[in-house]
Amino acid sequence: MSESPSFDQLGLSESLVRALSNLGFATPTAVQAACIPALLGGRDVLGEAQTGTGKTGAFGLPLVDGVDAALKAPQALVLAPTRELAGQVADALSGFAAGLDGIEILPVYGGQPMGQQLRALRDGAQVVVGTPGRVADHVRRGSLDLSSLRMVVLDEADEMLRMGFVEEIEWLLEQTPAERQTTLFSATMPAPIRRIAHRHMREPEEIRVGAGNEAGVDIDQSYCLVDQRNKLEALTRLMETEPDLDAAVVFARTKAATVEIADRLGAAGVAASALNGDMEQGERERVVANLRDGRLDVIVATDVAARGIDVPRISHVFNFDAPGDAEVYVHRIGRTGRAGRKGRAILFLEPRKRRMLKDIERLTGKSVRERAVPDREAVRARREDRFAERVRAAVADDAGDRHAALVERLLADGETSPQDLAGALVALATEGSPLDASATAGADPLAGAARAARDDRSGGRDKGERNNKRREGGRQGDRDSGPESGMVRYYMPVGRTHGVAPGAIVGALANEGGLKGRDIGRIGLQQEHSHVDLPESLDEGAIRKLGGIHVANRRLGLTLEIPAPQGPGHDTPARKSKPASRKPAGGKPATGKRPAYQATGKGPGRAAGKGQGKNSTGTLGIRRKAANG
C-alpha cells in the first residue's frame, strides 16, 4: 500500500503549506488526499464522509488557497446546519488563513448582532460561513452580494435536509453565478441530497471515504438494556466505573431533559451542563469552551445543539435517549474517537426498541455488543479504589505529619488499635457519601430490570397480542398496575356509551396527533370515560394539542382527573376540570417523578456549583486528564 502524500504534494501553495506546518498538520487524511487535488483542479466534488474524518480541511484548504486577497467581496460561501458547526468551520478556515495576508473569514448566523455582520460584509469579507436562514436573510436584504462567488460548500447536507433547510438551500444556489464551483459533503446520501447534487452540480467527482462509519473505527460501541425509570441510576454508575473517562456528551431527546439530567449529575458531584437550543448562543459557546478547557466534564445535549462539537478530550458518548434512526446515532458517536484517539459509545436501549440495533449495525458495518450496567458491588469497589488513591497521595505528600500528635493522643489509651482508628477515620471521611453503594436500603432496581429485560427478550408471546393487551389493559376498570415506566395516565370524557373503540383513539392520536404507535400505552374504556397512557416527556403544549382532537364528535380533553359523567349532547365535562398540567394535587406527576419539562432551580446550561467537578468525598467524580488532553 502506497504511503499517504504530504500536503505539498497535493498542489497547495507554498505559503499555505507553511501555514499548515506551523499549525502542526503534517499528513493529510484520506478524505483530504482525495478531495484537495480535485477541488484545486476546478472539479465539483460530491463527498460522502463522516464527521471527524477531516472534511473541513478537505474543502477548506482549496477554498482558502483560491481566495484573491485583493478582491474585497465574498468569493466563497459555506453553508452549515447549525450555529455551532458554522462557528467551528469559520474558526478552522481562519486558522488555515492565519499565515496569509488580507483574507477575512466571516461567520454569519443567528444570535450574533446584525450590525456587526453588516459592517464586516461592507468591509469586504471574502469568505462567508453561515446557516442557511441567516445567509438567505442577508441576500434578501441586499447586504450579501453573491455575484463574485467562486465556490459554494454545503457541509453536512443530510443534516440540513433533516432540519428543513432544503428550500432555502435551493433558493440560495439559484442566486449564485452559474460558473461557480460546488462542493457537497454529507455523512449519508439520501435521494433528496442526490437530487440537489444533480440539479446544481456539474459532473461532480464522487468521493466516498470509508464504508459505513469511518469516524467509528476507533469507537467501542455497546448497549445496555435499561428502562426509562432506571436510566439516571445507570448513567451515574457508568460514569463512576468507566475506565479512562475524561469527558463525555450525553444525548437526550428534549431540551427539558438536558436540564434535568445535568442537574441530577451535578447533584451527584459531576461537573455537568445542559446544551440546548433554548440557551443564548454566547452561553452555548461558553459551555463548549468550558468542556474543552476542563472546567466541565459532561455536556447533556440535544442532537441539534451538539452538531459540530469538536472537543478532542471527549472520550465517551452516552445515548441516554435512543436516537430517532441509525443515521442520527452515527452523527452522535462521531463526537468521540477523533484524531486517532479511542472512544466509547454506550446506548441505553429500552427492550422494546431493540430492533434499532440491526439498523445501526447495518449502517456502521460494526456489531454493537450488549453489556450489563455495573452493579452496586462494582460501584463500591471503584469508590474504594478512588479513596485509596487519595489516601496514598496524601501519605506520599507527608500530609499526615501535621496530625501526628493527634494520632498519638488517640492511640495513647491503649484500648484503640491502629486498625480500628484507621477504620473509624475512613468512616468519618466518607460520612454522607458512603463507599458502599448498597448502603441505601432496598433491592438493586437495575438488577431486577436487567432480569426482566432478558425475560422479555426470550418471551414467546405474539407481539401483536402483547400490544393489544397492553392497550386494552384498562377494560376491566382502573384495577391494573397503572401506567408503565416513563408514561403518564390521562383521562378523557369519551367512553363506550359514545361508541368509541380503542382503535379509534389510537388512530386519532397517531394520525391527527402525530404520535407513533410505540408512544401510545394502555387504553382503558369505561362507560362514560376512558384513559390512555402517554410518554411523560410530552410537555403541556403537546398535551393541550392532543386534548383538542375529536373522536366520535367528542373532544378528547385530556386531564389527570377522571371526568364526571356528562349529559347527552355535551362536549365538555360536567364539572370544570383543569387542563392536564402534569402536576397532580400531591405535587408530583402521576409517575411520582419530576416531569422532564420542569427544570430545577438552576437555569439551562449552568454548570454544577463550585467544587462539584471534583467530589471531595470521592463518591462520584470523573478523573480528569490535563485540560489540553
Q: Give me the CATH number covering residue 266.
A: 3.40.50.300
Is residue 558 over pLDDT 80? yes
pLDDT in tens, 355-382: 788 888 877 778 899 998 988 888 878 7
Full domain range(s) for residue 404: 377-429
Task: Tell me: do 132 and 148 sit in the same domain.
Answer: yes
Is residue 445 over pLDDT 70? no
Does residue 483 fall inside a structural domain? no
Boundary (domain end) residue, out of 389, 411, 429: 429
Task: Tell me: do 152 and 258 sit in the same domain.
Answer: no
Please report which confidence band the pLDDT of residue 151 belongs to, taking 50, 70 and 90 as the band edges. very high
Task: Tell me: do 307 and 279 sit in the same domain.
Answer: yes
Q: What is the DSSP letter of 250?
A: E
Q: What angle separates helix 445-458 from helix 231-241, to the nearest 10 degrees? A: 110
Does residue 253 fall inside a structural domain? yes
Does residue 282 fall inside a structural domain? yes
What does each C-alpha distance from 329 to 190, 215, 322, 345 come to in angstroms?
A: 16, 12, 8, 10
In percent, the amount of the chain with pLDDT more than 90 equals 28
Residue with cell string 477541488 = 39
Please report which confidence band the pLDDT of residue 298 belongs to, taking 50, 70 and 90 as the band edges. very high
Distance CA 337, CA 420 (A): 47
Rounded to the nearest 5°, which phi and psi values hold at 311?
-120, 110
Boundary (domain end) residue, out of 184, 208, 232: 208
pLDDT in tens, 22-41: 777 778 888 899 999 999 99
Distance CA 545, CA 626 (A): 49
Does residue 126 fall inside a structural domain? yes
Task: Tell me: do 29 and 102 sit in the same domain.
Answer: yes
DSSP 397-428: TTGGGGGHHHHHHHHTTSSS-HHHHHHHHHHH
Q: What is the mean pLDDT of residues 198-217?
A: 72
Does residue 317 fall inside a structural domain? yes
Q: What is the mean pLDDT of residues 450-461?
A: 46
Boundary (domain end) residue, out of 160, 180, 208: 208
Is residue 278 over pLDDT 80? yes
Task: Tell me: do 36 and 130 sit in the same domain.
Answer: yes
Would you state the pLDDT for residue 514? 74
Does residue 100 fall inside a structural domain? yes
Task: Tell me: do 159 and 221 sit in the same domain.
Answer: no
Mean pLDDT of the chain: 78
Does residue 310 fall inside a structural domain? yes
Task: Tell me: do 61 and 171 sit in the same domain.
Answer: yes
Nearest to 615 by CA among 364, 491, 457, 434: 434
Indicate the number of domains in the chain: 3
Q: Are 96 and 64 in contact (CB under 8 A)?
A: yes
Task: Tell me: do 322 and 398 sit in the same domain.
Answer: no
pLDDT in tens, 519-537: 788 888 888 888 888 888 8
Q: What is the largest CA-CA distance in the chain?
A: 94
Task: Tell me: do 266 and 361 sit in the same domain.
Answer: yes
Task: Tell me: do 357 and 323 sit in the same domain.
Answer: yes
* Better pLDDT: 509 or 449: 509
Task: Tell me: do 350 and 275 sit in the same domain.
Answer: yes
Would you state the pLDDT for residue 554? 82
Distance CA 580, CA 514 (A): 19
Task: Tell me: do 313 and 370 sit in the same domain.
Answer: yes
Does residue 105 fall inside a structural domain? yes
